[in-house]
Structure 1
Amino acid sequence: MSEREDLVQTLDTHRGLLRRTVRDLTDAQAAERTTVSELCLGGLIKHVAAVEARWARFMTGGAEAMRGGDGDGGGDDSGDGDGGAAAWAAQFRMVEGETLAGLLAEYERVARGTDELVRTLPDLDLAHALPPAPWFPPGATWSVRRVLLHMIAETSQHAGHADIIRETLDGAKSMG
């Protein structure tokens, strides 16, 4: 298997773990906050899809390309700092009119786009300067490969959050 396919398969494995946490839930359950945090299961799906879409834009266009995009839900982990606290919190919640099925469909659309991008980019070593943020060293750059590793780590981390929320919600476990 090629490096690209390894990266795509690993990212998709962690996407699957995250999607598994919402199996058989109603929209109301997916929107329920079970801890003191802003996190709910539907909001995590929305957040991870939006952040993946932004990082995919970074892979081809750098930090400036991370801004905007259809339905990418406001603030993110990219460090662009826009949107304020309310917008940042909203990305982790399901808002009126959102459904779990719709959020999952958007996540699937984003995932297909990312997978195709990884398979077709001419060079995984292509690098861009990161956006300014307190958690990125000034002037740092990331390659496409490094971005993919970050996406895998973030998806995995949020799958763990989702597993805790789901277990608190109704006792169901993603693994077991």
Structure 2
Amino acid sequence: MTSHQNPADGERADLLETLTKHRGFLRHTVRGLSDEQAARRTTVSELCLGGLIKHVANVEARWMRFAVGGAAAMRSEPIDWEGQFRMDPGETLDGLLDAYERVARETDELVATLPDLGLTHPLPEAPWFEPGASWSVRRVLFHIIAETSQHAGHADIIRESLDGAKTMG
């Protein structure tokens, strides 16, 4: 390591490489689909492939707002808790993928330029968070990676149910 390198540069690269890999799995799962196929539910779940892309993009954007400005920034845009998992009339898979790509670029740029991944903010009050807990930017990135990976697995099941295609194998 040269004297001008940030010791966390390797960590940032590892986090972004892992996130990029799981984003790629999710994107790969929707390859070659029509908008109708991307909007179709193939299981008893409300999930569809386009809705998963939309949800993961929204989650990533929301958590990165938290990473910079805390709970107030995270809540700065409304959340459609039910609609975030489905494609609305007029939405296209290409449009959702483009929005996801913009979010990914913004996240990657932010992670590369934030002065400290250890910066923490108190979590918003919610029944699923420990009262009074705080998360660092680093912890937020771990959460985004886990969320993306989990939903890439969901997408793989939906795609296999749709037409037999698999992300892996």
TM tier relative to shorter chain = over 0.9
Equivalent position of 1:83 in the other structure: none
Q: Is the 8 A contact 1:38 1:89 kept in 2?
A: no
Shift of 1:68: 3.2
Structure 1 residue corresponding to 2:28, chosen from 14, 20, 24: 20
User: RMSD of the alignment, in Å?
Assistant: 1.0
Q: Runs of 5+ in structure 1 lacking a partner?
A: 76-86
Paired residues for 1:36-75 under 5 Å: 36-69=44-77, 74-75=78-79
Residue matched to 1:109:
102
- After the TM superposition, which segments of 4 or more aligned residues of structure 1 sit over 4 Å from their partners? none
Report how far residue 135 of structure 1 moved: 1.2
- 1:95 aligned partner, one-letter code: D
1:173 aligns with 2:166: yes
Tell me the residue number matched to 1:7: 15
Alpha-carbon deviations, 1:98-122, whole Å to 9, x = none?
0000000000000000000000000
> Contact between 1:30 and 1:41, CA under 8 Å: does it hold in 2?
yes
Distance in 1 separating the partners of 2:151 and 2:159? 12
State the distance in 2 between where 1:63 and 1:174 align: 35
Secondary structure at 1:55 match in 2: helix
Listed as ranges, the matches of 1:129-148 within 5 Å are 129-148=122-141
Q: Distance between the aligned counterparts of 1:136 and 1:56, measured in 2?
A: 17
Distance 2:100 2:149 in 1: 15
Match of 1:88, SS?
coil
Query: Deviation string for 1:55-90 (max 9, x for gaps)?
Result: 010011001101234xxxx53xxxxxxxxxxx3121
| SS of residue matched to 2:82 | helix
Q: SS in structure 2 opposite 1:91?
A: helix
TM-score (norm 2): 0.93
Provide, for residues 21-58 of structure 1, a one-character-per-residue CA deviation record: whole Å limited to 9, x for no partner: 10000000000001111100000000000010000100
Residue 147 of structure 1 aligns to a residue in which SS?
helix
Corresponding letter in the other structure for 1:47: H
Partner Cα separation in structure 2 for residue 58 and residue 173 of structure 1: 34
2:156 corresponds, among 144, 156, 163, to 163
Measured in 2, the distance between the counterparts of 1:18 and 1:130 equals: 27
Indicate the residue corresponding to 1:30 in structure 2: 38
Gaps of 5+ in 2: 1-8
| AA at the equivalent of 2:95 | G
Q: Name the TM-score, length of structure 1 as normaliser.
A: 0.89
